[in-house]
Structures are given as C-alpha cells and as structure tokens.
Amino acid sequence: MRQVSISCDIDVRFFRPPPEFDGHFSTFYRLNIHVPDGGRVVDYLLPEWSNVRFFAGDCPDAGLSNGSSLSKAALVATGPSSMPTRFVLGTTRTWGVGLFPLGCAKLLNAPANTIANQLVDGARHPAFETFWSLGPMLFDGDGDDEKECARLLDHMRPFIVRKIADQDKILAVHSALVDPLIGSVAEFAEQAQLGQRTLERLCRRYFGFPPRDLLRRQRFVRSLSRFMIEPDINWTDAMDGFYHDQAHFVRDFRAFMGMTPSEYAAMDHPVLGAFMRERARIWGAAAQTLDVPTAADSSAPE
C-alpha cells in the first residue's frame, strides 16, 4: 500500500470556453499532480455543480459522506452536490469540466435532482453517456494541452448548439443565484422574474436542489472560499454578510462539510488550497459555484 503524503507539486492551467459555450460550462482545466515516492494526497472538494474529470495516471479513491463512493475510475462524474467529496490521489494528469446547470440540461441524460450528491463512474453511468466515447480518446500520451482541450471542445460542441425550452429561464435563475445581494427565496424569484412555484420546479430539475438550499450553499461557499484564498483571515472575517452570527455559520458548516470550521482548518489541503488560490488569481472566482453564467473576463489567460 502506498503512503499517504501531504507533499505534492501542482501545475494547473485554465482554458476559457469559446463564446458559443457561454452559460454551459464554468471552465475547462488541466491539472498535473506529482506526488513524490509513489505517495498519495488526501483532500476535500467543496460542494459544487456537476463535474466530469478524466484521469491519466493514478485514478482517485473518492467518497461522499452519504456513502456514495468510487475507486480507480478513469472518468469520475458527479452530480450537483451539497456535501464535500473526499479524495485520495497520486501522480496523475487530469482534465476537469465544470458543468453549469444549462450544460447539464443539454449534456446529461437525467434531471439534476436525480443525480444530486452522487459520485459515479462516468464511463458507465447512463446519465453521462455523452462522455463515454470521449474518455478513451482524450489522452494520447503527448501531453499536449491545446490538442487535448480541442478534443474536449469538439466533442461537446454538437450538444450545446441546440436550444432547449427552458434555456432562458435557466440562465435567469443562475444569474440571480450568484448575485451576492440575494438572500431570500422571495428576492431570488423576483430577480429571476419568476413565480416561486416555477422557481422551485426549475431549481430542482436543473440545479439539483430547492431554492432555499441553493442560497444556503452559495453563502457557505462564498465564506469558505474567502477563508481558503486569504491565509491570514479568520472565520469571523470570512463569514458572508447573510449569516446572523458565528453559531449560524457553524451550523451551516456542519451541514455542508460534516465537520466544524476548526476541524476543517486543522487539515492539510495540498490540492484544493493551491487550486483555489490559482483559480481566483486567474479566473476571478475561487469556486465553480461562484462563477457567473457568462463569458469569463477577456483578460483571463488561456
């Protein structure tokens, strides 16, 4: 059995999706991890939108707190989540694709609420059939970022050009959700210009959770992301303005992460910490759920 290590070298590169992909994906990224001496690192992903991750090298052992787990899959797929994903990983090359709700609606064969908080082998699960043929052809051994990214884009382009019935409503809901000034379901519905019953239906089908839970996740991820990318900040300063007090924040932290803030802070985060800081520096947002469903800033490098 290989040792679990906290030391690793990380090289990450973010790729801006073309304009026709706006609203469907957060970002595409290539992540190379090198763990010396055959070791493996342990870390936790934050609650997020649906993702597909392709691995060439050591494939992860991963699990959710609800018991959903996966081991050694080369294509790891997740539905939208409200809990952390614990993973153990060694030296590998990875491509990650973050799917916005509109991207899920067009590329996945299942409503978002039916795959929420699930961790599956994307090469076998029927919801992710769109990606089955991509996995074997993505990596060709050259390690050429541009060629591999082009394969990702070419594969997904035919799926995202079609328009679906609820497309404009999905984008309106998503834009309202990421507004940091929205704190209640009533405000959420008003900003999206929808009735609350319609908002409830759309959120469950395309976003995976009811509106109230989505708003809670947003304020929590805003808080935790700030703590992760500002090393000298404390939890009180990192807390989102919609938290009534520290006890309120701690309750949400336990609900989403299954641990207290102090327990989380005491852990090493060899992958996520470096990844989020670089994502914030390059992309402007440390976490996928904080991305707006529009084009990235044109100044963001490829």
Whether the Cβ atoms of residue 19 and residue 295 lie closer than 8 Å to each other: yes
28 inside domain: yes
Mean pLDDT of all residues belonging to the chain: 92
Residue 198, pLDDT score? 98
Report H helices in 166-296.
Answer: 167-177, 185-192, 196-202, 211-229, 235-238, 246-257, 261-265, 272-283
Q: Which residue has the higher pLDDT, 163 or 4?
A: 163
Angle, alpha carbons 86-84-49 (nearest 5°): 120
Residue 4, pLDDT score? 66
238 inside domain: no
Residue 300, pLDDT score? 39
Q: Which residues pair with 28 in a beta bridge?
A: 15, 97
β-bridge pairing 75-78 and 92-99: unpaired
Whole-prediction pTM: 0.93
Q: Which two tokens stand for residue 132?
A: 């089955």
22 inside domain: yes
Residue 295, pLDDT score? 44
Q: Which residues pair with 85 in a beta bridge?
A: 45, 64
Question: For the chain, percent helix, then strand, then coil, each to nearest 5?
Answer: 45, 20, 35
Residue 72, pLDDT score? 96
169 inside domain: no
CB atoms within 10 A of CB 267: 14
Q: Which of 5-19, 40-54, 195-209 has the lowest mean pLDDT?
A: 5-19
pLDDT tens column, 142-162:
899 999 999 999 999 999 998
pLDDT tens column, 110-154:
999 999 999 999 999 999 999 999 999 999 888 999 999 999 999
186 inside domain: no
56 inside domain: yes
Structural domain span for residue 69: 9-164+272-290
Encode burial over 84-108: b for 16+ CB neighbours within 10 A, e otherwise.
Answer: bbbbbbbbbbbbbbbbbbbbbbbbb
Residue 296, pLDDT score? 38
Where residue 32 falls among pLDDT bands split at 50, 70, 90?
very high
Whether the Cβ atoms of residue 75 and residue 92 lie closer than 8 Å to each other: no
Q: Which residues neighbour 165 within 8 Å (Cβ) at sequence distance 6 or greater?
A: none
Residue 2, pLDDT score? 54
Q: Domain tally for the chain? A: 1
CATH number at residue 279: 2.60.120.10
Whether 180 shows a pLDDT value over 50: the answer reads yes
276 inside domain: yes
Whether 274 shows a pLDDT value over 80: the answer reads yes
DSSP state of 206: I
* 119-121 β-sheet, strand order: 9-15, 25-34, 92-99, 50-57, 75-78, 119-121
CB-side neighbour CA atoms (13 Å) of 168: 3
Residue 185, pLDDT score? 98
pLDDT tens column, 46-100:
999 999 999 999 999 999 999 999 999 999 999 999 999 999 999 999 999 999 9
Where residue 5 falls among pLDDT bands split at 50, 70, 90?
low
69 inside domain: yes
